[in-house]
Structure 1
């Protein structure tokens, strides 16, 4: 079974060679590797060209086309692929040598269109910090992954993804402001074509330059983040992302507005819109905005998707959005 690998790069000179070496040394080698650089200011392109010239796997490097951000960068890369299966790759991770072989086995089942694996979390020194699935609170039981849960809490990480190309093409264009892995995972669950590989097949590097990552932090750091404007914006942006994902699933006719899943999550986001004083979306039901936050917290579908930690965070954010973060602006589009 042939497969292509797509890699989005940006200022990746420090780690990209180590990742490429792990890919070309797979027990089953890729047919093609497509790399699109998003406007690196370091030596990434020069390093890639040098590696390409010495490599026995076909590598295509796309550069000089401007900065799109990682979502649209991967969207562009999908358009270059030709093989039956497409593997997504970050620029700074390391694959185990049997990653491709183990994941390709899942696609022998014609019903499987999307496969993802567990990963090791590592630091810059390649010390293992833990398991990715432990961090995202995922077990190996696929029957526990339903659509409402995957919309609220995506446990499928893009760096571990392999997707059947025909299915992937049907998901284009990737919606703005929705990470491609969340979009792919939600559609796969809705289509009942998601499978998982319990093996840890990626060394998923965590460092300060990660666009998206998973790092374990101390309690004191977590408390400080509650009072940080950037982290506040990130929490708010996440609920905006869920709202946009829900509406895009309706647009794609994966969901209809009469579906109980849509109704439940829409009510949950409407509750969160009250917490954030209307900043998730101006289009959500006006009647919710008239509610007191003390009424919202007693609604059933508010608690359904909440942890003790997030309840406390919501209380803090509800105060902040009405006081010191009053002028915070988030783009809803």
Structure 2
């Protein structure tokens, strides 16, 4: 069984397409658990229509207002009961094999694990990019500087991982970043090189807009106003480490503490740390070194 956690807010324009793509999955042993964050459009009417059609759809009506997508998804975790769990955005479209493919990659793993796929960027008319995720990661050293988690709607995790991180720290910036940090810290992070959904991009994306064109990505990379370390993700990583410090191996603690010290270092010391601790952005040390030359640290 897979629990699909769907956080909704004013998603009436797109949510029916997402619901139909879930119902059409070749893997059918799932439960769709939905929590709405006070929508003022027709989102709830659409959700209740499909709840009446498919008994696998369960709407939580607990009067809790989260006021953010991240908090809404974290709230949903308390309702997850299955051995395998996946987040779901309200405005994407899943290909029919998505659940089966991810499940097949994780079903035999008893230790904490996240498996994730890629996605096509979609503007509602045509596909604008065949891969949204550009950087693979599998450990702390190549994850800490990415200023993001694995795209939330692309990852499936097991209960063993949830049990490791259910004691939330004081500050979490995003649900997907949090689960990614859990995987690279206490388990395994596995990438499947397939795009298994349409990741819809529009001006009202709740969980953030992703630059997909080469020009947009170049602009982002060379934007001096964008630091190497995003303050919010840095603070979230710091909070994560403070909460789970005792669970880290000595080797992991050394890497994490070097990362936390990084903003205090001078330029030469930063280069030394990048090589000493094998810090990378995904699998690329070169990208991190270029950012060090072009950008402020934090």
Give the TM bin, normalised by the shorter chain.
Answer: 0.7 to 0.9
| 1:314-325 map, 5 Å | 314=296
**Equivalent pair of 1:24/1:57 in contact (CA under 8 Å):** no
Q: Which residue of 2 aligns with 1:158?
A: 152
1:61 CA drift (Å): 3.7
String of CA shifts for 1:86-136, please: whole Å, max 9, x gaps: 111111111110111111112223235221111111112242423023xx3
**Equivalent pair of 1:120/1:129 in contact (CA under 8 Å):** yes
Q: Which residue of 2 aligns with 1:214?
A: 210
- 2:209 is the counterpart of 1:202: no
Q: Which residue of 2 aligns with 1:248?
A: 240
Task: Give the direction of change, closer, same or farther, for the CA distance of 1:174–1:69 in structure 2 (3 Å limit).
Answer: farther
Task: Give the direction of change, closer, same or farther, for the CA distance of 1:254–1:212 in structure 2 (3 Å limit).
Answer: farther
Q: Which residue of 1 aligns with 2:284?
A: none
**Equivalent pair of 2:113/2:158 in contact (CA under 8 Å):** yes
4+ residue segments displaced more than 6 Å: none
Distance 1:94 1:147 in 2: 31
Q: Which residue of 2 aligns with 1:291?
A: none
| 1:18-29 map, 5 Å | 18-29=17-28
1:309 CA drift (Å): 4.8
Between Structure 1 and Structure 2, how many residues are aligned? 279
1:16 CA drift (Å): 0.8
Query: How big is the alpha-carbon RMSD for the aligned residues of Structure 1 and Structure 2?
Result: 3.0
TM-score, normalization by structure 1: 0.73
Query: Which of 1 and 2 has greater Rg?
Result: 1
Q: 2:135 aligns with which of 112, 121, 137?
A: 137
Which deviates more, 261-270 or 36-45? 261-270
Distance 1:254 1:246 in 2: 14
Q: Which residue of 2 aligns with 1:104?
A: 103
Q: Which residue of 1 aligns with 2:283?
A: none
**Equivalent pair of 1:8/1:35 in contact (CA under 8 Å):** yes
**Structure 2 residues without counterparts, runs of 5 or longer:** 281-287
TM-score, normalization by structure 2: 0.81
Structure scoring higher RCO (CA < 8 A, sep ≥ 6) equals 2
Task: Give the direction of change, closer, same or farther, for the CA distance of 1:177–1:84 in structure 2 (3 Å limit).
Answer: closer
String of CA shifts for 1:228-266, please: whole Å, max 9, x gaps: xxxx5x759823422431342242123378832023202
**Structure 1 residues without counterparts, runs of 5 or longer:** 139-143, 272-295, 318-333
Secondary structure of the residue aligned to 2:295 is helix
